[in-house]
Structure 1
Amino acid sequence: MTKGRSMINPARGNNMKAIVDLFASIDNVIASFMKFAVTVMGIFVAFAMVIGIVARALLGIQVFGLEELVLTAAMWLYMLGAALASRERSHLSADFIEAFSKNKTLPHVTRLIATGLSVVLAVFFVTWSYSLFAWGVEKGQVTPVFSIPQYISQGSLFVASILLLLYALRDLIHDAGKLFNKR
């Protein structure tokens, strides 16, 4: 090897960058869709709740089926919101080790362990939510007023669990890279 030359094949580096850029583009499209869906469903849930309360309390009118629509929208709202929080790593965490330890490596090790546990739990969540979704499809249950299939709201759990797993895997790779690059 000559001085100043890298052992890494430049073509391989360009291919890897292209793959990373492709995944980043796909992630941005998915995130844009999730943000739009969360916004629309959040507005819908808020207005639907107000309409339901005003109709019952002030007008004495029962709005049949509103709860079905709110439940379905709320399930997707909460699950996509959880996926967005995972994407942005803005979910709750207890990073108190950084405050108490002077060791610069220990926070990276604990973050890697926590992310590893998140991956394991996300795999369980995917398995469980798929079973629930498949059961809902098999049973064919529907809501009483609008006959909305139950698997539509159950599908929110499955979609969110897949997204949570993908983001947890991304974070695991990132955290492992940070830990091993420190050394």
Structure 2
Amino acid sequence: MDRFASIILTVLICVVALGQFVQVITRYVLEIPVMGLEESLLYPTMWLYMLGAVNASRENTHIRANVLEIFLSSTKQQQVLAVIGEVISLTVGIWLTIWAWDFTKYSIRVWRESPTLYLPTFYVDVALITGMVLMMIFTAWHLIKHLIVLFSPDTPTKES
């Protein structure tokens, strides 16, 4: 799974970077912009953004301001704080996932197209619901892992 995620994210970031490089060179150096390049870059950019967030959720490496952990002395207290954080993340994430689902239904119904190339934007819009569902799965998984550690009888009560 790690290898697959890193390959997909690497390919997407290379496509976006190459597209931006071509756009800068053709527009500002050669003064002949490539029509429709920005809207075609929307597809890999949105998927890169959402799959990057899914990857951070999978690895549990989202940026956090864990100031309270400094003041907690036991592992059990830190696990309780982690459970609270995951529950809040899951609650807000499910709420946003519901919104993403409503947006996806709207996108299917309207079936918008890009202005220049007439590409269906549904394939960009579906990245949002896909990413949110996957993030919620990984958040729930991390919550379960924290609960298992919290309720296991051999959880140390003091930091060593």
TM over 0.5: yes
Name the CA distance, whole Å, in 2 between partners of 1:121 and 1:101: 25
**Aligned pair 1:120/2:91, yes or no?**
yes
**Aligned pair 1:43/2:14, yes or no?**
yes
Tell me which of 94, 105, 111 is aligned to 2:82: 111
Equivalences for residues 3-18 of structure 1 within 5 A: none
Name the CA distance, whole Å, in 2 between partners of 1:49 and 1:137: 29
Match of 2:114 in 1: 143
Equivalences for residues 1-183 of structure 1 within 5 A: 28=1, 31-181=2-152, 182=155
Deviates more, 1:42-51 or 1:95-104: 95-104
Percent identity (aligned): 27
Name the CA distance, whole Å, in 2 between partners of 1:91 and 1:55: 36
Match of 1:12 in 2: none
Q: Highest relative contact order (Cα 8 Å, sep 6+), 1 or 2?
A: 2
CA gap 1:141/1:45 in 2 versus in 1, 3 angstroms: same
Name the CA distance, whole Å, in 1 between partners of 2:5 and 2:131: 10
CA shift at 1:147, angstroms?
A: 1.7
**Cα RMSD (Å) of the superposition?**
1.4
Deviates more, 1:91-100 or 1:121-130: 91-100
Unaligned segments of structure 2, at least 5 residues: none
Name the CA distance, whole Å, in 1 between partners of 2:147 and 2:26: 54
Structure 1 residue identity aligned to 2:105: A
Name the CA distance, whole Å, in 2 between partners of 1:172 and 1:139: 37
CA gap 1:90/1:177 in 2 versus in 1, 3 angstroms: same
Name the CA distance, whole Å, in 2 between partners of 1:96 and 1:66: 43
Name the CA distance, whole Å, in 2 between partners of 1:94 and 1:107: 14
Name the CA distance, whole Å, in 1 between partners of 2:93 and 2:4: 22
Deviates more, 1:43-52 or 1:31-40: 31-40
Unaligned segments of structure 1, at least 5 residues: 1-27
Structure 1 residue identity aligned to 2:39: E
Name the CA distance, whole Å, in 1 between partners of 2:5 and 2:129: 15
Name the CA distance, whole Å, in 1 between partners of 2:127 and 2:5: 12
Provide TM-score, normalisation by structure 2.
0.90
The residue matched to 1:144 in structure 2 has which SS?
coil
Structure 2 residue identity aligned to 1:51: V
CA shift at 1:95, angstroms?
A: 2.2
